[in-house]
Amino acid sequence: MRLGLLILLFVAFISGAKASEKPNIVIILADDLGYADLGFRGSDIQTPNLDRLAAEGIVLNRFYSLPICTPTRSALMTARDPIKLGTAYAGLQPWENGGVSPDEHFMPESFKKAGYQTAMIGKWHIGRQYESLVPHHRGFDHFFGHLNTQVDYYTHASAGGHDLQENGKSLKRDAYATDIHGDESVRYLKEIRDPSKPFLLYVPFLAPHSPMQAPEALEAKYKSRLNFPVPKRTYAAMVDSMDQAIGRIMDELDRQGVSDNTIILFFSDNGGFAGFGGVNKPYRGGKLETFEGGIRVNAIMRWPGAIPAGSKTAQAISVMDVFPTLAAAADIEMHNEKKIDGINILKALTKAKNIKRPKPLFFASNSPEYNSFRLAMIDGDHKLVQIIDHNNRSTEITNHLFDLSNDPYEKNNLAEENPLRVKKMSDAINDWRSQHPVSGLYVSISPNPSWRAPADYAEDVRPDNQTILKSWGGFGRVASQVLQMRYGEKGRIKYE
């Protein structure tokens, strides 16, 4: 009897020890950060905390996001290609009632099932109008932040409506948004989480996305020290402020003694926007474009004891890989019923193993600035950038073919001398585009003239049963059904 009790206690102790070994995970997302705009990349912008993260972890020199906000966030949460989600082409606007379908399985749901506490603090931007689209109904135990994009850093308004909340309850805060995100992350770590359980904390900052606003003292710092012009000095101050907020999170992890058992992943949702001060050198292009400067972003991962400090990797990594890789690191099941497109690249980070991607990566942007589509496909070392410009008389298609192994800065267009490869890759892009659901999202420059922003977005979230038309993109369900009858069971249209 006594021996049996001792055995049971020993088993319970071992189980508890194993549970406590699950790594905590912090995912930090910058918004529109330029590739060259961190200190360790040679920038004059001061980012000592991200520089420290790079020195203590691994720099992911070939990490690919998508060229715009919503697709990247969709891919991060689902490990699936945004073309299948209907979110590949554009950023979701406050006046649109779409988002990522509730049928899609989200990363925090998997971690929650595995016993993790889950929290999100910052910008959501993948659905807002219905309960099943908002963070605290998609696997996050705790949500503090904004549902939309283009949020004012001081008034916290988006398109005229107030957009700051905690778990569905509207909040008023007289403070700079980036400071709030850092402080609330620290509050979560100190006061809200249960120290006996592992946690997943997702911190998608607004910064340095427009509107271009920063604390006066930080702006003055970059005006006096480096004589940065507007808007560059504002942008620099926004990046500096974000770095300080990240530093407070790292300091709190240190204070609690959990840094050694915490994975920190930092990356940007797309390249920087030159018009607001973002610099993507040495790469070509920027946000909204599918050249490397729009999609190859800063990324760093730290996991003490598992990832060698001060290391670098040239492994091609997609934002779709984050979910399966972190699930592998935590030794949990993903529980996805639908086939994922991301892959587990953990051994590339911990063992410096080169992992061959099983299929190409695709990218897209439908931008009002260009009135066009910017598309790209990366297949091994070869990359095709396809630009489709529309006007009221014609459509012009321009192809750029690059060998990234010899030309990572995309200076030498090989399209004319390789017509067969261009044709093959162009056909593959067309096939990929045919997966976009007819109810999917396209760019929306302005709202319907009758649309008015709700006074408060937190109070505008509706129960799913209060709407007849549910749209997880642009068209409503009835429109989707009509097009499905015309174009087949899947409701797809192939663009030739």
pLDDT at position 394 is 81
> Who wins on pLDDT, 461 or 209?
209
H helix runs in 138-263, sequence order: 177-187, 216-226, 232-255
Q: What is the pTM of this model?
A: 0.90
Structure-block tokens of residue 205: 């900052």
Residue 2: pLDDT above 50?
Answer: yes
What integer is the mean pLDDT of 102-114? 96
Of the listed 69, 146, 162, 400, which one is catalytic?
69
CB 256 within 8 A of CB 189: yes
CB 92 within 8 A of CB 98: yes
pLDDT band at residue 467 using 50, 70 and 90 as cut-offs: low
Active site residue 400: no
Q: Which of 174-188, 253-267, 309-323, 481-495 has the lowest mean pLDDT?
A: 481-495
Q: Give the chain's mean pLDDT.
A: 89
What integer is the mean pLDDT of 374-379? 98
pLDDT at position 369 is 60
Residue 391: pLDDT above 70?
Answer: yes
The set of residues, in sequence order, having a beta carbon less than 8 Å from that of 3 and lying 6+ positions away, is none
Quote the CA–CA distance of 71 and 75 in Å, as a whole number.
6
Of the listed 105, 125, 136, 181, which one is catalytic?
125
pLDDT band at residue 226 using 50, 70 and 90 as cut-offs: confident
Residue 64: pLDDT above 90?
Answer: yes
In this structure, are strands 157-158 and 161-162 parallel, antiparallel, or unpaired? antiparallel
**283-320 pLDDT per residue, tens:** 999 999 999 999 999 999 999 999 999 999 999 999 99
The 3-state DSSP composition of the chain as helix, strand, coil percent (nearest 5) reads 35, 20, 45
pLDDT at position 129 is 85
In this structure, are strands 63-64 and 296-297 parallel, antiparallel, or unpaired? antiparallel
Active site residue 335: no
Map out the domains of the chain with their CATH numbers: 23-350 (3.40.720.10)
The set of residues, in sequence order, having a beta carbon less than 8 Å from that of 440 and lying 6+ positions away, is 85, 86, 87, 88, 89, 473, 474
Residue 116: pLDDT above 60?
Answer: yes
Among the listed residues 87, 76, 145, the one whose alpha carbon sits nearest the alpha carbon of residue 444: 87
Report percent pLDDT > 90 for the chain.
76
What integer is the mean pLDDT of 94-113? 93
Q: Which of 197-206, 348-357, 460-469 has the lowest mean pLDDT?
A: 460-469
Residue 483: pLDDT above 60?
Answer: no
